[in-house]
Amino acid sequence: MKRSRLTYEGAFHHCMNRGINGESIFAGQQNKSQFLDYLEESVRRYRIKLYAYCIMENHYHLILENRSGKLSDFFRHLNGQYGMYYRKISGEKGYVFQNRFKSTIIQDDTYLKTAVGYCILNPVRARIVECFDHYVWSSGSYYFSEKENSILDIGFVNELFVSKEELFNFLANMSGQELNILETRYGEVLGEDGYVNDALSRFDRRKKDYGFGRKRLDERLFEEVEKIIWEFEKKIGYPIYNIDTRTREGRNLRGELLVLLRDVGGLRFPEINRIPFFENYQVFSMSKLYHDTLRRLKKS
């Protein structure tokens, strides 16, 4: 069983994920741009506050606030959508990301500043650019500028650092600095020892409040979309995008994958429709396909 993420409504997080085996899954402008599109969609859909981001060649960093309490759903959608996109353009089977996602909960504004700095300094540490705000694929150039970003809470970060000069000075003093992370049984914490107990108490309260009537919010009850697709492709022996839905066999396979995504992945039909393999299939037809496939599988 998966370990629940340490989080609660309003918690700040530094989250990241990387390509399987360190592969450059974000190589090229098109891939990074597509990931940003999925990031925008996910932020709006799950009401997550985004404060900073950085997309490198083989991994990404996000600094965000779990405003809605749906952190797991947010990443399930973001990584699932990009995983489907990347698998389609690359023609590869198997996992795209190394893990579900890595999440470090952040104590307060002081530590949040450090996390934002760490995030946008990635291209500098990698010696891609000399200054953090020269890197196109991060949020670094948006702070204290005239540029706008529809999904980034620029004002909040500007208030944290007060001025552009303080931001630059803060980052200059972070050169070579690593994050001081505390390990807990539920994950990583960026903060002091005393905060760990407070975060755990809020996390435990959240689980009790959910009860058994809100199972959809419990990430332990559903499989990741990527895993479902990977196991399905392993079973049939080829990528799902090679399925010929003009044939009866292909249509049956499409129905079986739909059932898995619905029952094992916990996705709703509109969410399944956003997966590229199903994007040309009408949402209103999915219910019939779903029930027809269930009846066929029971008979067989």
pLDDT for 127 equals: 94
Q: 167-181, 203-217, 276-290: which has the minimum mean pLDDT?
A: 203-217
pLDDT band for position 255 (cuts 50, 70, 90): very high
For the question of whether the overall pTM of this predicted structure is more than 0.75, the answer is: no
Residue 220: pLDDT over 60: no
* Domain spanning 12-216, CATH class: alpha beta
Q: 266: Cβ–Cβ under 8 A, 6 or more apart, which residues?
A: 216, 221, 222
Instruction: Indicate if the pLDDT at residue 260 is higher than 80.
Output: yes
Q: Quote the tokens at residue 147.
A: 């540029």
Helix axes 109-120, 154-161, angle to 10 degrees: 110
b or e along 15-49 (b: 16 or more beta carbons within 10 Å of the residue's beta carbon)? bbbbbbeebebbeeeebbebbbebbeebbebbebb
Pairing label, strands 102-106, 187-190: parallel
What ranges do the domains of the chain cover? 12-216, 243-299
Residue 62 has a pLDDT of 97
Closest CA to 76 of 108, 31, 112, 45: 45
Instruction: Give the pLDDT mean for 129-151.
Output: 95
Q: What are phi and psi of 25, to 5 degrees?
A: -75, -10
Q: Is the pLDDT of residue 214 over 50?
A: no
What is the Cα–Cα distance from 80 to 77, expressed in whole angstroms? 5
Task: Output 21 or 198, whichever has higher pLDDT.
Answer: 21
For residues 98-126, give the mean pLDDT.
89
